[in-house]
Amino acid sequence: MAISRTRKEELYQEYTEQYQKSNGIMLAHYRNLTVAQMQAMRRRAREQGGQIFVVKNTLLRNILEEHGVKTLTDMMTGPTLAVFCYKGIQPLSKLFNEFAKDFEEGQFTVRGAVLEGRMYNAAEAVRLADMPSREQLLAQVLGTINAPASQMVGVVASGVRQILNVLQAYVDKLEGGAPAEAAA
């Protein structure tokens, strides 16, 4: 069913606002999903910091090209779902991969992603799910920064331990030798 020009302009505005607010977009092809399945997908996407839209391909393609993203035409054909990711694309990429596994063959297929002004094909979009999350990356960086300090503490502590061991051995020797001298 064709939509009016005013509705297209509204959608264009909506998609533009969503794109500007988001960190990235995951794209998927869907077919024969029930209302309950769509509602469950939308709810889980909101929980992960995203919002799912059934998009008009030409409008989204025009917005992406307007923002300097070279689009792959085969990615945006047929019924397309776009999830605009507000917190990060990685958790939503995992979510899309789960959806693709949960549904029957051809019912839900990851088509690609847009991240930092670049379009990623389906295989690359699926690999986004394997990337560590922001929290994991921060933990790795902090661990790397903290490692030299931890090693330094270990070196200093081992030196102190050696001195204490020598002193304890000397105390033990004196305590062990004192009764023998008293008996003599």
Alpha-carbon gap, residue 145 to 101, rounded angstroms: 38
Q: Residue 62 corresponds to which tokens in the numbers above?
A: 């025009």
Kindly indicate the confidence band of residue 130, based on its pLDDT and cuts at 50, 70 and 90.
confident
* Sheet architecture: strand order including 118-120: 50-55, 80-85, 24-30, 108-115, 118-120
Which pLDDT tens digit goes with each residue over 30-49?
888 888 888 998 999 899 88
- Any idea which of 6-10, 77-81, 83-87, 151-155 has the lowest mean pLDDT? 151-155
CA distance 82 to 72: 15
The total number of residues shown for the chain amounts to: 184
Q: Which CATH class is domain 5-131?
A: alpha beta
Which pLDDT belongs to residue 133?
67
For residue 57, the tally of other CB atoms under 10 A from its CB is 17
Residue 92 reports pLDDT greater than 90: no
Look at residue 184 in the predicted model and tell me its pLDDT.
Answer: 41
Kindly give, in sequence order, each residue whose CB lies less than 8 Å from that of residue 99, ignoring residues fewer than 6 positions away: 28, 41, 108
Q: Report the alpha-carbon distance of residue 50 to residue 82 in Å, rounded.
A: 10
Average pLDDT over residues 125-141: 74
Q: Residue 71 pairs with which residues in a beta bridge?
A: none
Structure tokens that stand for 70 in this block: 């070279």
Assess contact for 45 and 83: CB atoms under 8 A. yes
Place of tokens 């004192």: 178
- The reported pLDDT for the residue numbered 180 is 45
Q: What is the pLDDT of residue 175?
A: 85
Q: What is the dihedral of CA 29, 30, 35, 36, to 10 degrees?
A: -90
Q: Residue 69's closest CA among 125, 113, 28, 111?
A: 113
Q: Of 123, 131, 108, 11, nearest to 63 (Cα)?
A: 11
Phi, psi of 114 (to 5 degrees): -125, 125
Is residue 177 pLDDT above 70, yes or no?
no
Look at residues 30, 33, 26 and name the one whose alpha carbon lies nearest to residue 52: 26
* pLDDT value for 43: 93
pLDDT score at 149: 73
Tell me the C-alpha distance between 32 and 30, whole Å: 7
Q: What is the pLDDT of residues 2-34, one digit of tens each?
A: 788 898 888 888 888 888 888 888 888 888 888
